Amino acid sequence: MGEKLEEKPVLYSYWRSSCSWRVRIALNLKEIPYDIKAVSLIKGGGEQHCNEYREVNPMEQVPSLIIDGQTLIESLSIMHYLEETRPQRSLMPQDCYKRAKVREICEVICSGIQPLQNLIVLIHVGEEKKKEWAQHWITRGFRAVEKLLSSIAGKYCVGDEITLADCCLVPQVPRRPKAFSNNTTYRQGVGEPSSIPCCPSISSTRLPS
Amino acid sequence: MGEKLEEKPVLYSYWRSSCSWRVRIALNLKEIPYDIKAVSLIKGGGEQHCNEYREVNPMEQVPSLIIDGQTLIESLSIMHYLEETRPQRSLMPQDCYKRAKVREICEVICSGIQPLQNLIVLIHVGEEKKKEWAQHWITRGFRAVEKLLSSIAGKYCVGDEITLADCCLVPQVPRRPKAFSNNTTYRQGVGEPSSIPCCPSISSTRLPS
């Protein structure tokens, strides 16, 4: 059968990308060593659009993860793969209802907020309108997130254990409208990077350019 | 312990909603009987924005599913809940890599295409620009979907078994740009409603208004 080489996973990432940050949090929590390949979303109109990277990720986005000899894209899919193949420090509850609630919060953030306010969309919206546009969709999304958290959050998004919902919420919180920053409907600290042990900072993978 | 009443699930749905259609396909494939509550996204500016429905779904979207005495939102989360609690006719592969590929296709559609071209976003974009806007993001997304399918599709999106990826692709196909309708990179029929046994038609839950 031959010896299977366990190569260190490689994360294509950009330090300001909230989607990359989600995966970095999950990798840290599961204590999976990995290397970073920086993909600047700014330099030269965005390195993610070059032919070489398009072969890695046809959506021309970060993150992508090379792991187990395969290329994976889409942050939520990557995190579920890590959860299924590296079960240490589980980031999903056992209970089916709580699992659904974790996924709901992930989806509201990952399909209801982030795609509408990411860099590529704001460039398309244009300089003049982008601030109003982003605020509109972020406010709508956080109103829903807060409502969901009010019924299910404990010390973390869903109960008292860290889950994938926290991996998704933490990177979105820096763009949270001020109106939501002093919420009283769930415990203070939920969604704050400081609440997650070993949480990588947003800039921790900033590489010399 | 008392007798547990097995109430029929109730799907809040709108016949033209692609996200509702995803869940209807999964419910049909798993042969789960359910009732429909129609929520018109058109009437009176959208019934999904009324106070009563906002209590059901804080994102003010369809679908929502009342099942097992709980309210679930977000189509992907709902489908995974059905998969975990109603394992008949599984819609996820056993293999972790294939599971990741299913989730990738789901995410590209559910976070990379649909949120940018749904009714509420097009209203915000405005009558004048909405066609160009929708085509831009749908084309980008389908280019990625086609690339993913070219390496993993068989009779269906991922191999030869129907998965959640098919439940997501079928409702997006009616909005597929013409350039992709005669693809040759994967087997013809993938993503077509006619390829899915018992696939509900888009209009099958159109209720008298």
Surface-to-core class of residue A102, CB atoms within 10 Å of its CB (0-12 exposed, 13-18 middle, 19+ buried): buried
Would you state the pLDDT for residue B3?
Answer: 46
pLDDT value for A179: 74
Instruction: Tell me the residues of chain B between 156 and 195 that have a Cβ less than 8 Å away from chain A.
Output: none
Using an 8 Å CB-CB cutoff, list chain A residues near B104.
Answer: 72-74, 77
Which residue in B has a C-alpha nearest to residue A61's C-alpha?
B112
Nearest to B75 by CA among B38, B131, B115: B115
Q: pLDDT 10s per residue in chain B (209 long)?
A: 444 557 999 999 999 999 999 999 999 999 999 999 999 999 999 999 999 999 999 999 999 999 999 999 999 999 999 999 999 999 999 999 999 999 999 999 999 999 999 999 999 999 999 999 999 999 999 999 999 999 999 999 999 999 999 999 999 998 888 777 666 566 678 888 888 888 888 877 766 55
pLDDT band of residue A176 (cuts 50, 70, 90) is confident
Please tell me the predicted confidence (pLDDT) of residue B4: 53
Higher per-residue confidence, A209 vs B58: B58
**B86 reaches A (C-beta below 8 A):** no
- DSSP secondary structure of B172-198: HGGG--GGGTT--SS-TTTT-GGGSTT
Above 50 in pLDDT, residue A107?
yes
Count the Cβ atoms, other than its own, within 10 Å of residue A51: 6
Domain range annotation of chain B: 10-85, 96-195
CA distance A198 to chain B (A): 26
**Is there a contact between B84 and A99 if contact means CB atoms under 8 Å apart?**
yes
Q: What is the pTM of this model?
A: 0.94
- Fold observed for domain B96-195: Glutathione S-transferase Yfyf (Class Pi); Chain A, domain 2 (1.20.1050)
- Put simply, the answer to whether B116 touches A116 (Cβ < 8 Å) is yes
Q: Which of A111, A119, A186 to mutate to test the interface with B (most CBs of B within 10 A)?
A: A111
The residue with tokens 């990277």 is: A53
Residue A184 above 50 pLDDT?
yes
Position A50 scores a pLDDT of 94
Q: Stretch A6-32: mean pLDDT, rounded?
A: 95
pLDDT band, residue A147 (cuts 50/70/90) = very high
- And the tokens for A179? 């109106």
Q: Which residue of A has its CA nearest to B146?
A: A58
Cβ distance of A81 and B96 shorter than 8 Å: yes
**Range among A5-9, A76-80, A181-185 with highest mean pLDDT value:** A76-80
- Strands A10-13 and A35-38 turn out to be parallel
Give the pLDDT band of residue A189 (cuts 50, 70, 90).
Answer: confident
For residue range A51-62, what is the model confidence (pLDDT) as tens digits? 999 999 999 999
ipTM: 0.93
- Where helices occur in B3-157 by DSSP H, the ranges are 18-29, 51-56, 75-85, 96-112, 119-125, 130-152
What distance in Å separates the CA atoms of residue A27 and residue B140, rounded to the nearest whole number?
A: 29
- Of the partner residues A76, A84, A108, the one whose CB lies closest to the CB of residue B96: A84
CATH fold for domain B10-85: Glutaredoxin (3.40.30)
